[in-house]
Amino acid sequence: MNILQVGGLEPQLAELVALRYQPLVLPPPGEERERFLAEHGPAVKVILASGGRGLDDELFAALPELEAVVNNGAGVDNIDLAAAGRRGIGVSNTPDVLSDTVADTAIGLILMCLRRFGSADRFVREGRWATEGVFPYARDLTGSTVGILGLGRLGNAVATRLLAFDCTIAYHNRRRIEGSPYRYAASARELAESVDILVVATAGGKGTEKLVDREVLTALGPQGYLINIARGTVVDEAALIELLSADRLAGAGLDVFADEPHVPAALRALDNVVLFPHIGSATARTRRAMAELTLRNLESYLRTGQLVTPVLRPEKAP
């Protein structure tokens, strides 16, 4: 089957795929892409994707024989799932293998926000300790109440870690989880107004766009902290900047942004914000596990027509 690579792959994965399958590589938008799709589009059976946008109905229409999209990542908000479903195109992702690493990142962001570890580091490096004396007091994580927006694999991994800090956990999902030991909140707003820290761990995509809006952020309040390890689109970034600038939020820890890698200058200028360059799953072990699962999905589909970790099951015959 002809394979089309969309987006940049991890070097290790790219090398293996190139050796085994010699995939076609989709050019950037423009005339070259149009010529490429006109020539090669009718022969493409599988897309191997890694981040980026544009896996939409327009691209699928240019690939009339496309059967499956193998995505190197847990999130599939870069793929128009509704369009894929209408065309019978299968979609896979890499769940589970990155939950622990991203949950570790969430704890790191929480500690850096509440204890102001980044500011403390700069305080020493800039020579201010010698001239200004004692660094200002910060906040304790231990004993805090933490709300988790999206208690799936990732949200549960975050909650498990927070229990070691004697935190009280609450959560909001579209539906209550039977048997969960954590308090359920009926809405994102209700969750926000009852916690010290709100951790965004929900899936991205149109269904959760700006789920954390001005109302939710206002409910979190001037003593509250927002931590986002999900997708930048889940949070109303403009409202977040406004409330942080006006001291109507205590702080934020962000690994994701609305228009990556472009982070608003107003956000970068704030001292009550910790900013990471989307490194939640960026460890050698985790990225290797993601690459291995991506290859398993690709090889399984090519061999049997079945995906190992399907988000959508393929309906076209391989």
Active-site residue numbers? 231, 260, 278
Q: Are 185 and 127 in contact (CB under 8 A)?
A: no
What whole-number distance in Å separates Cα of residue 215 and Cα of residue 236? 10
What whole-number distance in Å separates Cα of residue 46 and Cα of residue 60? 11
3-state secondary structure of 8: coil
**Burial per residue of 290-303, b for 16 or more beta-carbon CB atoms within 10 angstroms, e otherwise:** bbebbbbbbebbbe
Print the SS3 string covering 178-222. Answer: CCCCCEECCCHHHHHCCCCEEEECCCCCHHHCCCECHHHHHHHCC
The identity of residue 268, as a single letter, is R
Question: What's the helix, strand, coil split of the chain in %, to 5?
Answer: 40, 20, 40
The identity of residue 149, as a single letter, is L
Secondary structure element (H or E) that encloses residue 69, with its range: strand 68-71
What whole-number distance in Å separates Cα of residue 33 and Cα of residue 22? 18
Give the number of other CB atoms < 10 A from CB of residue 143.
10
